[in-house]
Amino acid sequence: MENQNFLQISGLKKSFGSGENRTEVLRGLDFTVTKGEICVLLGPSGSGKSTLLNIIGGIDNADSGYIAINGEKTVDMDEKTLTQYRRKHLGYVFQMYNLIPNLNVKENVEVGAYLSDSPLDVDDILKTLGLYEHRHKLPNQLSGGQQQRTSIGRAIVKNPDILLCDEPTGALDYKTSKEILKLIEDVNQKYGNTVIMVTHNDAIKNMADRVIKLRDGMIRKNIVNDVKVPAMELDW
């Protein structure tokens, strides 16, 4: 029961601006994500996907409604608890890799490890991600795919309960995108982290356990996918 309601989103509303400029971005969202699921958030540009991800990640606040993780509502946490929570339990992967330019690959991944009480083994992660032989390189000596792998390494080394990915393949070519999606899939299978992934790419829904389709700040569809397609077999 606890696992089924692992991540609970309830009555979530968010608007930006005021008066005539007020835009209601999230207009009352309700859904739950089971522990260990890959959940893909789809929807047109402006439908509120990143806003939702930022609220789940504690980067932004909702106007009303709540997010609960294992029954704990993030709105009830004080700033210190929330910061601790973000550090220990959430991993972020963005379209822009946000690596630290003067640290090498291994050191960038270690940054993630320092934030956690129970980090995974850095060398293991580097090997899983195919980065071990590149571990002494600086970010500017890496391809886009290798940089994205490093940012996944930094997020996953914390062994976060939830891996939040915002367009993780947005800046990558077809082949590299599929490799990155396969890594996310491997990491999900190996470590059992729950994955929430925002994407524009409709094909990615096929590798998900759950697909949430947003339109105009509302949930249009909440689909449980019984027959998943492995990332490497996705086609677009």
Ligand X SMILES: Nc1ncnc2c1ncn2[C@@H]1O[C@H](COP(=O)(O)OP(=O)(O)OP(=O)(O)O)[C@@H](O)[C@H]1O
Q: Which two tokens stand for residue 68?
A: 């609960």
Least Å distance, CB 168 to ligand X, is 13
Instruction: Return the residue of 18, 19, 45, 226 that touches ligand X, per CB under 6 A.
Output: 45
Residues 199-218 that bind ligand X (CB under 6 A): 200
Q: Which is nearer to ligand X, 50 or 128 (CB)?
A: 50
Instruction: Return the residue of 6, 37, 39, 51 that touches ligand X, per CB under 6 A.
Output: 51
How far is the C-alpha of 164 from the C-alpha of 38, rounded, in Å? 10
Residue 42 near ligand X by CB under 6 A: no
Instruction: Return the residue of 50, 147, 169, 206 that touches ligand X, per CB under 6 A.
Output: 50
Least Å distance, CB 63 to ligand X, is 13
Q: How many CB atoms lie within 10 A of CB 64?
A: 12
Which positions ≥6 away from 38 have C-beta within 8 Å? 184, 185, 188, 194, 195, 197, 207, 208, 209, 210
Residue 43 near ligand X by CB under 6 A: yes
Q: How many CB atoms lie within 10 A of CB 228?
A: 14
Least Å distance, CB 23 to ligand X, is 6
Residue 47 near ligand X by CB under 6 A: yes
Residue 170 near ligand X by CB under 6 A: no
Residue 46 near ligand X by CB under 6 A: yes
Report the amino acid identity of residue 181.
L
- DSSP 8-class letter at 35: T
How far is the C-alpha of 180 from the C-alpha of 168, rounded, in Å? 8
Q: 149-152: long-range contacts (C-beta < 8 A, 24 or more apart)?
A: 149/180, 149/183, 150/97, 150/99, 150/105, 150/108, 150/109, 151/93, 151/94, 151/97, 151/98, 151/99, 151/108, 152/93, 152/180, 152/183, 152/184, 152/187
Q: Which is nearer to ligand X, 29 or 113 (CB)?
A: 29
Residue 48 near ligand X by CB under 6 A: yes
Instruction: Return the residue of 3, 11, 22, 23 that touches ligand X, per CB under 6 A.
Output: 23
Q: Which is nearer to ligand X, 11 or 17 (CB)?
A: 17
Q: 196 φ, ψ to 5°? A: -115, 120
Q: Which is nearer to ligand X, 47 or 128 (CB)?
A: 47
Q: Which two tokens stand for residue 77?
A: 């946490």
- Region binding ligand X by CB under 6 A among candidate stretches 44-52, 67-75, 85-93, 170-178: 44-52
- Region binding ligand X by CB under 6 A among candidate stretches 5-13, 42-50, 78-86, 181-189: 42-50
Contacts with ligand X, residue ranges (CB under 6 A): 16-17, 23, 25, 43, 45-51, 200
